[in-house]
Each structure stands twice: as C-alpha cells, then as structure tokens.
Amino acid sequence: MKPEIKNRTDYPFLFPIQTRWADNDIYGHVNNVTYYSYFDTAANALLIQKAGFDIHHSPIIGLVVNSSCNFLEELTYPEIIEVGVAIAKIGNSSLTYDLAIFKQGKGEASAQGQFVHVFVERETKKSTSIPQEMRDALKNYLIK
C-alpha cells in the first residue's frame, strides 16, 4: 500500500543537506541506510537550532527507539536535498517526528518516514520528562 505523498509545505522546518560521494552504493543511488542518517541529522538540527538543545552538555539525551521510511524516489550524488521535520506527537519523555526528504525544487517527497526519540538521563539512561522549555519551543513544529 503506497502512502499518501507529503508536500514540502507540510513541514515547518526544512534542513538542507548535500549528498556525499560516499552516500551512493554500488547501484548508483543513495543507500537506504543513509536516509536514516539524514533524518537523524535534521531532527537533531531542529532540537539544536530551535529548542536550544546542547548535545554535548545537556543532562538528558534523546535515544532513537523506533524509525521507519518509505522510499518513493531514489536520491543520488551530487544532489542538495532538504529534510522536512514536523513533530507528530510530544509525549512525557518522547518525541515522534514526521520526516520527509525533498529533492531541490520539488514539492513532493522522495522519501518520508517517522522517528521516535525517548529522552533519558545522560548518565543513568533512565527515561526522563522532556523539559518544559523544550516542549514550549517544539510546540511551534507540532502537526495540528
């Protein structure tokens, strides 16, 4: 069953990424595992740039506990892509991201997926609540 293809305008945060030579596999397109790297990079960019998350010193960290991707159109090197990020759900200790990858100049997604971060204490790895300041900042990216 083919998913409903998302549009660039569905995403309040767009993060540009240049595909790299090493991203291509032997078949001449970006390898599927690299799409997850793009998702991870963009989701963390949202946290850093818009929620003030300090990945090096914060007492909490986000661990990926679930991810998925629908591959709709292949990517290659060299291309500049944009990863669209929206927050699908803010839980007590988790964030569910709605993500999509767009080729430059294209409105429809080439790939789309989901990513779940669970926030834990950096030292103990025990689940912890998302701080209110982060919640407040991320509400602007919440899908209604």
Closest C-alpha among 120, 71, 113, 121 to residue 96: 113
Closest C-alpha among 139, 143, 117 to residue 6: 143
Cα separations (Å) of 77 from 13, 99, 133, 143?
Answer: 23, 21, 38, 31
pLDDT surpassing 80 at residue 144 = no
Q: Which CATH superfamily is domain 8-141 in?
A: Hotdog Thioesterase (3.10.129.10)
The mean pLDDT of the chain is 96
How far apart (Å, rounded) are the C-alpha atoms in residues 50 and 62? 15
Predicted pLDDT at 3: 85
Could you report the per-residue pLDDT of 36-89, keeping only the tens digit for each?
999 999 999 999 999 999 999 999 999 999 999 999 999 999 999 999 999 999
Predicted pLDDT at 61: 97
Element (H, E) at 86: strand 80-90
